[in-house]
Copies of this chain bind each other. A is one copy, B any other.
Amino acid sequence: MTSTSPQKPMIQAARGEKPSRWPVWFMRQAGRYLPEYRAVRADVDFVTMCKRPDLAAEVTWQPLRRYDLDASIIFSDILIPCIALGQELTFDKGHGPRLSAPIRSITDVKSLKSPDATRDLGYVGDAISLTKTKLKPEQTMIGFAGAPFTVASYMIEGQGSKEFTEVKKLIFCDRPVITALLEKISQLTVDYLLMQVKAGADAVMLFDTWAGQVSPGVYRDLIFPCTNKIISEVKRASGVPVIYFPGQGSDRMYELTGCAADVISVDWRTRLSRAAEILKGVGLNVTLQGNLDPQALLAPEAELRAMVRALKDEARQAARAHIFNVGHGLLPHTPPESLSIVIDELRK
């Protein structure tokens, strides 16, 4: 079932081999900073774009037309599977995602649907298959999902949060509820990622944006085991490389002993060299991805080039291999020309 190819630099780097060139892509490279994205988005709401393979493929292709990128990540959202689980997902202007009927009890968890990834989320697979028809053979198609804790946090809070009080109530006062929810999400996530690989994904990424919102002990005991089980099962069943992004700082990296991921994506809050040191310390020999501050793309050309050079120097010494990226998703005010500067400086 593996669809990797030795000519794909990103896959070579992910596997710890010497890539034919330094691979680069940008988290949220299909997004609002591109006028052609805003043009598509003007006529259609965000969830509909994710559900229509023609539109999802179109905006996924947009950055590939502008930039010489090594990878393409399917346009979607980490909360799309929540629709299949029975919650209603909306994006209010200026507010971010909202999920209906937040999960607060074991009854709420049991009332969730038991979706079939192919039947209920097949549109994501269709978007991947369609996107892949226009990728070059050396380009990597990345599928993705939210890590279960991050998805669960939204399902519990019903929206983004600053304090995660409802999540913490379950962690500290009613752990069986969040455990059951994490289990439910995990089962779906394995099937969902394997469906994406079947549709053509050459690698998959697990986004744990909110991993930094729990203390290291809770992360180690409750969150990392279910996350790592997904990584192991997807790897075993598909053979594709798995990238894990434990968001917001290095404190969780100390807890990753036994992590099955091929690549750890590093937040910009952490020095790349420090991440390498910490991960080696817990016995991991992984490829690193990252980690320019996305806001650094605001800098004038000379400063931006200097930052890219500094990161190259750091990356050369840090890990078995490196995939150049930002340390968090691109922001809507990113100047599109900055991506060209980064890529040009990297290729030098």
Whether B295 lies near A165 (C-beta < 8 A) is yes
Given the known inter-chain contacts A173-B299, A173-B300, please indicate yes or no for A269 contacting B215, CB distance below 8 A. yes
Whether B271 lies near A217 (C-beta < 8 A) is yes
A283-318: which have CB < 8 Å to B? 293, 295-296, 298-300, 303, 310
The reply to whether the CB of A163 lies closer than 8 angstroms to some CB of chain B is yes
Report B-chain residues with C-beta under 8 Å of the C-beta of A300: 173
Bound CA span A171–B331, Å: 17
Bound CA span A173–B300, Å: 7
Report B-chain residues with C-beta under 8 Å of the C-beta of A327: 215
Report B-chain residues with C-beta under 8 Å of the C-beta of A270: 216, 251
Whether A295 lies near B172 (C-beta < 8 A) is yes
Whether B295 lies near A274 (C-beta < 8 A) is no
Task: Identify which of B169, B249, B310 contacts A250 (C-beta below 8 A).
Answer: B249
Report B-chain residues with C-beta under 8 Å of the C-beta of A250: 249-251
Whether B212 lies near A269 (C-beta < 8 A) is yes
The reply to whether the CB of A32 lies closer than 8 angstroms to some CB of chain B is no
Given the known inter-chain contacts A163-B331, A165-B331, please indicate yes or no for A271 contacting B251, CB distance below 8 A. yes
Report B-chain residues with C-beta under 8 Å of the C-beta of A248: 248-249
The reply to whether the CB of A33 lies closer than 8 angstroms to some CB of chain B is no
Q: How large is the interface on A (under 10, 10 to 19, 20 to 34, 35 or more residues)?
A: 20 to 34
Task: Identify which of B173, B251, B295, B299 contacts A249 (C-beta below 8 A).
Answer: B251
Report B-chain residues with C-beta under 8 Å of the C-beta of A249: 212, 248-251, 269
The reply to whether the CB of A164 lies closer than 8 angstroms to some CB of chain B is yes
The reply to whether the CB of A110 lies closer than 8 angstroms to some CB of chain B is no
Bound CA span A293–B165, Å: 11
A217 to chain B, nearest CB (A): 7
Whether B172 lies near A303 (C-beta < 8 A) is yes
Report B-chain residues with C-beta under 8 Å of the C-beta of A214: 293
For A212, A251, A268, A274, the residue with the greatest tally of chain B CB atoms inside 10 Å of its CB is A251
Whether A298 lies near B216 (C-beta < 8 A) is no
The reply to whether the CB of A254 lies closer than 8 angstroms to some CB of chain B is yes
Whether B173 lies near A298 (C-beta < 8 A) is yes
Bound CA span A271–B168, Å: 18
A117-172: which have CB < 8 Å to B? 163-165, 168-169, 171-172
Whether B295 lies near A216 (C-beta < 8 A) is no
Bound CA span A249–B310, Å: 24
The reply to whether the CB of A21 lies closer than 8 angstroms to some CB of chain B is no
Bound CA span A251–B212, Å: 12
Chain A 205-228, CB-CB to B under 8 Å as 1, else 0, gives 000000010111100000000000
Whether B254 lies near A163 (C-beta < 8 A) is no
Report B-chain residues with C-beta under 8 Å of the C-beta of A173: 298-300, 303
By Cβ-Cβ distance, the 6 closest A-B pairs, closest first, are A249-B249, A168-B295, A172-B299, A216-B271, A172-B298, A215-B293
Contacts A216-B274, A248-B249 known; list 10 others, CB within 8 Å.
A169-B295, A172-B296, A173-B298, A173-B300, A215-B269, A215-B271, A217-B271, A217-B310, A249-B249, A251-B270
